[in-house]
Structure 1
């Protein structure tokens, strides 16, 4: 079994915990992580870019000039793309960029991301993470104590004091265990979990 040291907020060793190897010490599959990151970023795209084609431009009901005898090329409407103020040919239209990814792939990708942080020795487990009040300074002291330049902090339940204290820190993000995702795990160099978050992740992924 994979083992990790559990610390308190003062960086004192409290105990040692065994981690589920299926979740935290599995084979890292970079191609699955890549697919999952693409899936997440594609789903975030708005896909609202658009422009008017020749059917959407106002006017153009009348033939601009007669077919023959003017010396000009024949024209049927002023909304054609070759006219100034006409519609755009092959322009962007609103679309959905999301694509399907199997549930098993999503699960294995998250296990790979978590396992990569454990195998790189960039996983820190805390016995608990609590603050008496909303204080960015207090939260930053905890982060600095563990010498984390950037980190994803995962807590097991709603904790307004911690969540609001961290939101002004540039390179730190706090998530609840049910919101952990591959993109955020890979975006931050370090992963910090509370023991409660570890239990929830193992319960959901093992």
Structure 2
């Protein structure tokens, strides 16, 4: 099994642990990462763009002028798309952009994302976070000790001190283990996990 070094907040090595190869050291399949990112971004789209078609715009259905004798082309209504103020032909209507991905594909994509960070040596495991208070400055100093320019920090459970301390940092995002996802892993160049978060991810993925 693959092993990772566990550090404390001062970047001192406090131990090692084995991680599941099937989750953190499997083959990285880029096409699965691509499919999963598309899936996540598509699900975020509001899909509320809409225009009025000829049945929704204001205006009567009476013929604007008589059928024959005017020298103009025959017209049935001023609500037709080629009239100024008429309805739009084939315009956007509210829709959902979401599409389906199988659960096995989602799981394999997450394993690939985690493995990509591990194999690139961009994954750091910290024993735990112990902050005395909510402090952006203190958390920024902690991240800088590990020389990380941008990081996704994954914790095992709710921790307001960590979550609120990192909220205003530009290139840092804190997620709980149950919310870890492919898009955020790939968005940030480094992955930082607590020891307990690694255990929780492994437990969830092995179900």
TM-score, length basis structure 2: 0.98
SS at match of 2:61: coil
SS at match of 2:173: strand
Report the Cα distance in structure 2 between the residues aligned to 1:142 and 1:83, rounded to whole angstroms.
Answer: 64
Gaps of 5+ in 1: none
Report the Cα distance in structure 2 between the residues aligned to 1:96 and 1:35, rounded to whole angstroms.
Answer: 17
> 1:61-100 to 2 correspondence within 5 Å?
61-100=61-100
User: Where does residue 134 of structure 1 map in the other structure?
Assistant: 134
Residue 59 of structure 1 and its aligned partner are, at CA, apart by 1.4
Report the Cα distance in structure 2 between the residues aligned to 1:130 and 1:181, rounded to whole angstroms.
Answer: 25
User: Where does residue 201 of structure 1 map in the other structure?
Assistant: 201
SS at match of 1:97: coil
Residue 129 of structure 1 and its aligned partner are, at CA, apart by 1.0
TM-score, length basis structure 1: 0.99
SS at match of 2:106: helix
Residue 130 of structure 1 and its aligned partner are, at CA, apart by 2.1
SS at match of 1:15: strand
Residue 61 of structure 1 and its aligned partner are, at CA, apart by 2.0
SS at match of 1:93: coil
User: Where does residue 3 of structure 2 map in the other structure?
Assistant: 3
Report the Cα distance in structure 2 between the residues aligned to 1:130 and 1:87, rounded to whole angstroms.
Answer: 61
User: Where does residue 17 of structure 1 map in the other structure?
Assistant: 17
> 1:183-198 to 2 correspondence within 5 Å?
183-198=183-198
Report the Cα distance in structure 2 between the residues aligned to 1:56 and 1:158, rounded to whole angstroms.
Answer: 49
Query: Which 4+ residue blocks in structure 1 deviate beyond 2 angstroms?
Result: none
Report the Cα distance in structure 2 between the residues aligned to 1:54 and 1:158, rounded to whole angstroms.
Answer: 52
Report the Cα distance in structure 1 between the residues aligned to 2:60 and 2:105, rounded to whole angstroms.
Answer: 52
Residue 58 of structure 1 and its aligned partner are, at CA, apart by 1.3
Residue 47 of structure 1 and its aligned partner are, at CA, apart by 0.4
User: Where does residue 143 of structure 1 map in the other structure?
Assistant: 143
User: Where does residue 175 of structure 1 map in the other structure?
Assistant: 175
Query: What is the alpha-carbon root mean square deviation over aligned residues?
Result: 0.6
Residue 78 of structure 1 and its aligned partner are, at CA, apart by 0.1
Gaps of 5+ in 2: none
